[in-house]
């Protein structure tokens, strides 16, 4: 079992703890600040609710979480140490020196610093090569980007190991090849922040109006395409060169004040704080965090479906997650219920029970060889009939498994019975499905090839010894039999 040590358990450190823990690592946390443990529990509650919702496969079982009274205890035996203390260089030097004194020699030491270079962090270190910047973005458990910044003292094999570890956590490590204060992303954010301060100070807009300009406009484009790909499209068929030819001269116009900084006066702070309170003060921080997380899950799942941008990172990570454990009947789905599947009644909407059953059918098709490559070759199964029974509520965050029993696999038929199990094995629903094998060239039913037919027959024969499931062959409104 891999072990991570988190030094500093605030918003960022807590997010790191959640990212490691929910990916199966044991995590030790050290933060002497009063109330640190309660704050970490709140971050973990949000993470447990949202991170599994990104995936259609279950994340690994959680690792063990330990709260440590000393830094030495936390870093002992760690494979990765993540320092997330406040942005004070002398404080970071003291903490990193203590980490070095007690962490294993092979441990990588990442710093969450948003501004300091690795060379600055490594000053006075005994083994500077293993200290590098691993700068994430809040919430760390959902946003995949992490800027990895080595110094000239860091060998390439350590950089590669850091990148591989972060990728295994479902993150997108961005190798920043040249040291620079504030790295890449925060320098961009700082530019926007400076201009925003001027716009508020000069009365051009309020905090709400400025946020609206981002979230209803270019922010939606940036989430999937970034800056340059967005502008490439703006150039039309002639591409980026045409765009730059059109809009390049505007760089000489005095549109922005990025080289100036408004005086950070109490009046400016009061103005912005007051507008922000009017904008969002009716919600608690926890409510805002959950609103943010729910929106991020929806956006990230949409991107995942298209295999685009951050969604491609989630899809690639999901492919590495362990398949369900073997069972008497094959487990065809093991996942958590995303909050986007719930409805006005507070439980999973009926349509998504069908989606779970459809995912189970797709997985079983893969198990008998009807996978993407086979479908591309011209064969598939089409669903011709489903029957669903809703037996128990499922809630956002519930871990569910689906088992699949073959009722008939003769000829063109694929007749399946899915059992959808909720927490503690509760039978939440059943779905009976009849599919027919199709020739995609003619769009007509046809017998499957021998290899798929043989694989299906093997399952059908193995499942023939199982009793006929309760609910199979039912019609709508028929009362269920009493449980045996």
Binding site members for NAD(+): 8-13
Dist CA 66 CA 26 (whole Å): 8
Annotated binding site: 8-13
Q: Are 56 and 335 in contact (CB under 8 A)?
A: yes
Instruction: Provide the 10 A C-beta neighbour count for residue 407.
Output: 20
- 301 burial (CB, 10 Å; 0-12 / 13-18 / 19+) is middle
Please, which residues bridge with residue 146 across strands? Answer: 136, 173
Q: Are 471 and 465 in contact (CB under 8 A)?
A: no
Kindly report the backbone phi and psi dihedral angles of residue 370, in degrees, each rounded to the nearest multiple of 5, phi listed first. -90, 70
Q: Are 354 and 431 in contact (CB under 8 A)?
A: yes
Dist CA 382 CA 404 (whole Å): 17
Dist CA 306 CA 66 (whole Å): 38
Going through 350-463 in order, the beta strands assigned E by DSSP cover 379-390, 399-408, 413-421, 427-439, 444-445
In what helix (H) or strand (E) does residue 3 lie, and over which residues does it extend?
strand 3-7
**Do strands 427-439 and 413-421 pair parallel, antiparallel, or not at all (unpaired)?**
antiparallel
**Do strands 444-445 and 108-111 pair parallel, antiparallel, or not at all (unpaired)?**
unpaired
Dist CA 191 CA 259 (whole Å): 9
Spell out a b/e string for 251-278, using b for 16 or more CB atoms within 10 Å of the CB, else e: eeeeeeeeeeeeeeeeeeeebbeebeee
Break the chain down into helix, strand, coil percent, rounded to 5: 45, 20, 35
Q: Which tokens is 174 given?
A: 């961005």
Please, which residues bridge with residue 342 across strands? Answer: 348
Of 123, 70, 74, which is closest to residue 97 (Cα–Cα)? 123
């Amino acid at each position: 079992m891999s072990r991570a040590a988190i030094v500093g358990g605030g918003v960022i450190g807590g997010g790191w703890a959640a990212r490691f823990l929910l990916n199966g690592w044991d995590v030790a946390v050290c933060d002497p600040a009063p109330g640190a443990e309660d704050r970490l529990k709140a971050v973990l509650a949000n993470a447990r609710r949202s991170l599994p919702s990104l995936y259609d496969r279950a994340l690994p079982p959680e690792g063990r979480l330990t709260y440590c009274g000393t830094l030495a205890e936390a870093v002992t035996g760690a494979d990765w140490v993540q320092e997330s203390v406040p942005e004070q260089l002398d404080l970071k030097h003291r903490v990193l020196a203590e980490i070095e004194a007690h962490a294993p020699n092979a441990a990588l030491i990442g710093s969450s610093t948003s501004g300091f270079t690795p060379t600055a962090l490594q000053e006075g270190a005994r083994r500077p090569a293993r200290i590098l910047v691993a700068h994430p973005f809040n919430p760390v458990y959902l946003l995949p980007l992490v800027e990895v910044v080595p110094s000239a003292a860091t060998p390439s094999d350590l950089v590669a190991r850091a990148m591989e570890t972060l990728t295994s956590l479902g993150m997108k490590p961005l190798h920043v090849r040249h040291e620079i204060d504030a790295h890449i992303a925060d320098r961009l954010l700082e530019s926007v922040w400076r201009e925003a301060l001027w716009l508020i100070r000069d009365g051009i807009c309020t905090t709400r109006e400025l946020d609206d300009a981002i979230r209803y406009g270019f922010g939606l484009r940036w989430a999937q395409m970034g800056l340059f790909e967005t502008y490439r499209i703006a150039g039309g068929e002639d591409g980026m060169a045409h765009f730059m030819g059109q809009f390049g001269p505007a760089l000489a116009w005095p549109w922005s004040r990025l080289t100036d900084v408004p005086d950070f006066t109490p009046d400016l702070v009061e103005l912005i704080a007051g507008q922000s309170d009017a904008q969002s003060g009716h919600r608690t921080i926890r409510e805002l965090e959950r609103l943010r997380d729910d929106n991020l899950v929806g956006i990230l799942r949409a991107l995942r479906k298209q295999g685009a941008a951050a969604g491609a990172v989630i899809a690639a990570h999901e492919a590495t997650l362990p398949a369900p454990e073997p069972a008497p009947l094959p487990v065809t789905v093991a996942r958590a219920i995303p909050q986007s599947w719930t409805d006005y009644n507070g439980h999973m909407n009926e349509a998504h029970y069908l989606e779970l059953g459809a995912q189970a059918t797709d997985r079983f098709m893969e198990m008998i060889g009807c996978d993407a490559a086979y479908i591309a070759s011209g064969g598939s199964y089409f669903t011709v009939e489903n029957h669903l029974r809703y037996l128990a509520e499922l809630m956002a965050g519930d871990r569910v498994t689906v088992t699949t029993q073959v009722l008939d696999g003769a000829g063109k038929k694929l007749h399946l019975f899915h059992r959808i199990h909720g927490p503690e094995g509760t039978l939440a629903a059943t779905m009976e499905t009849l599919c027919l094998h199709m020739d995609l060239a003619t769009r007509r039913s046809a017998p499957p090839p021998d290899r798929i037919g043989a694989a299906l027959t093997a399952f059908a024969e193995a499942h023939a010894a199982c009793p006929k499931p309760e609910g199979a062959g039912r019609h709508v409104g028929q009362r269920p039999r009493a449980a045996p």
